[in-house]
Amino acid sequence: MIRNGHAELAPERDGSRRTVRVWCDGCYDMVHYGHSNQLRQARAMGDYLIVGVHTDEEISRHKGPPVFTQEERYKMVRAIKWVDEIVPGAPYVTTLDTLDKYNCDFCVHGNDITLTVDGKDTYEEVKQAGRYRECQRTQGVSTTDLVGRMLLMTKTHHTVDPRGHSPWTGVSQFLQTSQKIMQFASGKEPAPGDTIIYVAGAFDLFHIGHIDFLDKVHSLAPKPYVIVGLHFDQEVNHYKRKNYPIMNIHERTLSVLACRYVSEVVIGAPYSVTADLLDHFKVDLVCHGKTEVLPDRDGSDPYAEPKSRGIFQTINSENNLTTDDIVQRIIKNRLEYEARNQKKEAKELAVFEAQQRRGKILEEQHN
């Protein structure tokens, strides 16, 4: 039962209250903070969130080639802290049979539209049955947009002209708010006995390589409290060059906060891990992956201080995927992704224009 956007446990015949089970599904390709925000909203509508993730074959048939493999996408969705369970290989079209199979009361999707290869609404059946709920789509990002940022290789990632674009594919400037950060943050301070672990980096296009690293870091202690230091955009661009970061500091903050292995984020952390930082957060351990550590602007080792204290550890997550690798995947298949984006937007635009025409007709009939 939904009241004011929040779940109320439906009463059983014996007067007890039962669990409200919610279903979400999707491609979850290049999982970003928009996906996480959808799942956060869906979880708030119930007590247990099940997320169905489509196979590579299904996505290729209906949309075009995914950037990440299905196994990578399954692991990414599992790492989002509002997800209770995932269903690999979920059907592309959401049916009542699927909801019943997993004992879900209803499904939740954003207020955009998902179409099959034939241009049909994938949620039509559950909508007609009254077992569909809608949550607010996150402005400023989409997988289509992120692919475009990498292909354009520009540093002005959000100057997208919405005219002539689908309102779901075309994006607006992402505006960070304190409320949004509060919604994503755990709000928990370290408890007595917690091991405070600090890691730092860009964490750009938050991906499966980051997930495996943070999972490994999280497993280092019985009661870990993992703090992620995020470098400002200018700092990331200084040591990575090109058009990095693909995602700005505000977007990267939400992406990292959505991870179940992360307790806190330092927004705009210094490149060098300083004594002040270690003392302020009472850090017990500092970790870094196997990727190359570039010297600070003065030529010094950014991890000199934690190394001198004997609290530095290199972590081998056994996953060598980097943001560079993801960009290369996009560039390698540039024509396919450009065609996918154009095809998706054309279908969405046709539906949007048809909705507007129907609205005008109804308005004229009403008048």
Question: Looking at residue 352, what is its pLDDT?
Answer: 67
Domain count, the chain: 2
156 in any annotated domain: no
Q: Range with the lowest mean pLDDT among 96-110, 254-268, 278-292, 349-363?
A: 349-363
Residue 194 pLDDT > 90: yes
Q: If pLDDT is split at 50, 70 and 90, which confidence band does 2 have?
A: very low
80 in any annotated domain: yes
Together in a domain, 304 and 188: yes
Q: If pLDDT is split at 50, 70 and 90, which confidence band does 241 have?
A: confident
Together in a domain, 224 and 302: yes
Degrees to nearest 5, angle at CA 298 with 294 and 299: 45
C-alpha R_g of the chain: 22
| Domain range for 126 | 2-138
The tokens for 104 are 């879900």
pLDDT in tens, 203-212: 999 999 999 9
Q: What percent of the chain has pLDDT over 70?
A: 82
Residue 217 pLDDT > 70: yes
339 in any annotated domain: no
Q: What sign does the dihedral 216-217-218-224 (CA atoms) show?
A: positive
Together in a domain, 10 and 72: yes
Q: If pLDDT is split at 50, 70 and 90, which confidence band does 30 have?
A: confident
Residue 77 pLDDT > 90: yes
Together in a domain, 33 and 115: yes
Together in a domain, 314 and 182: yes
- Buried b or exposed e, range 8-43, using 16+ CB within 10 angstroms: eeeeeeeeeeeebbbbbbbbbbbbbbbbbbbbbbbb
365 in any annotated domain: no
Cα distance between residue 367 and residue 363, in whole Å: 6
Q: If pLDDT is split at 50, 70 and 90, which confidence band does 91 have?
A: very high
Together in a domain, 185 and 130: no
Residue where the block lists tokens 């699927």: 98
Out of 138, 168, 187, a domain closes at 138
What is the total residue count of the chain?
367
What is the rounded average pLDDT for all residues in the chain? 85
pLDDT in tens, 134-183: 998 776 667 777 777 777 655 554 343 433 444 434 444 567 889 999 99
168 in any annotated domain: no
Question: Looking at residue 366, what is its pLDDT?
Answer: 74
Which positions ≥6 away from 224 have C-beta within 8 Å? 194, 195, 197, 217, 218, 263
A 10 A CB-CB count for 348 gives: 22
Together in a domain, 240 and 304: yes
Which positions ≥6 away from 80 have C-beta within 8 Å? 31, 35, 36, 39, 258, 259, 260
The tokens for 58 are 């299904």
Between 32 and 229, the higher pLDDT residue: 229
Residue where the block lists tokens 């099940």: 50
Question: Looking at residue 337, what is its pLDDT?
Answer: 65
CATH number of the domain at 301, please: 3.40.50.620
- Report the half-sphere exposure of 259 (CA within 13 A, side-chain side): 30
- The answer to whether the CB of 80 falls within 8 A of the CB of 258 is yes
Query: Phi and psi dihedrals of 311, rounded to 5?
Result: -120, 20
Q: Range with the lowest mean pLDDT among 1-5, 23-27, 50-54, 222-226?
A: 1-5
